[in-house]
Amino acid sequence: MPPLLGRSRRRAGQLADPALDDVELVEVRTQLAQGRWGRVSSLLTATADDWDRRGHRLVVLAEGAGSAAWAEDWLLAEPQSADAAALLACATVLRALRGKGGRGGETAAREACRVAARMAPSDPTPWLGLLILARSLGTEEEVSRLFDEVRSRHPEHHHAHHLMAARLAERHPEAGQDPLHEVYDFAAWAAEQAPADSPLAVLPVVAHAERYRVLAAAGSEPGDPERSGHWTGRRARQVMKAAFDWWLEWEREDHPRNRIDLNFLAHAKFCEGRPAEAAALFHRIGEHVTEAPWAYPNRDPYQAFSAARGTALGSV
């Protein structure tokens, strides 16, 4: 199973901080770890209804070991704070997924998300929390319903689309290299529905990598993606070209999860056998190396990234 949140098991100087290039988020996370949630409140107020950034910031803040407890304190001090409720919701979800919420952890997480959703009906983030939970523990019907709830509030929600692609890719592994698999249809539909400058243009590449993860785990694709033909078929090449052309024209450096997309795109271009194009992406990634997709299917992500980067940069 891939990382649920697009986060990394960080090693110093290697995999990216889950905050990616959000310097403000890194500073505020340190404050929260010390129990000072006032800066968190200011950060989230400034984030306003930039829903992708709000979701990214809340999920990263929620990852801290003490985040749920500090969010509870904040909510006690400010019972009407939708920001405190959203942080508590996300932190309770992650605690439940880590198995640290006790026997009632999942139930508590669902209730915390519902409370947060009632306090801020237009905010997709509590529904994102429920989707993260359902990604691992829910039924197909529940995952689809929660994705619709997120999308009804923010049709281009980046994190939600990545979660949905990962879940859909896991359906019918026995179908093998089926170019009509539903994950490809979903990703193509999402990219077509989104505005021209939307980073969802890269979602078909994400879907392709997620499907490779599933097929490699099932044994129908080599464990080394460079030896796989998964990225060299006609359809795959069309997908990679469209996403790379989008990046050349629109590169969304302002998007909070931009580095995640760049890692998927660099991985795809390298596996496709286009090292010069991959090299341009490696330059943009810099130190922000994400676990997905370099770990697929069961590899050391930093070693895989470093080897690919060295080969790509040596080719230009």
Residue pLDDT, tens place only, 122-133: 999 999 999 999
What is the C-alpha to C-alpha distance for residues 201 and 195, in angstroms, rounded to an integer? 9
Which pLDDT value is given to residue 8?
A: 39
Which pLDDT value is given to residue 211?
A: 96
∠ CA 35-41-46, rounded to 5°: 145
Which pLDDT value is given to residue 109?
A: 96
Give the residue from 291, 301, 14, 49 showing the smallest Cα distance to 166. 291
Give the residue from 246, 156, 249 showing the smallest Cα distance to 205. 246
pTM: 0.93
Which pLDDT value is given to residue 2?
A: 55
Distances (CA, A) of 207 to 14, 188, 252, 315: 25, 9, 19, 27
Which pLDDT value is given to residue 37?
A: 87
What is the C-alpha to C-alpha distance for residues 64 and 284, in angstroms, rounded to an integer? 28
**CB proximity list for 175: less than 8 A, separation 6 or greater:** 181
pLDDT averaged per 10 residues in sequence order, the chain, 316 residues: 44 76 95 92 96 98 94 95 98 92 84 98 98 95 97 98 97 82 95 96 97 94 90 91 94 93 97 95 94 94 95 82
Whether omega for the bond prior to residue 293 falls within 30 degrees of 0, making it cis, is yes
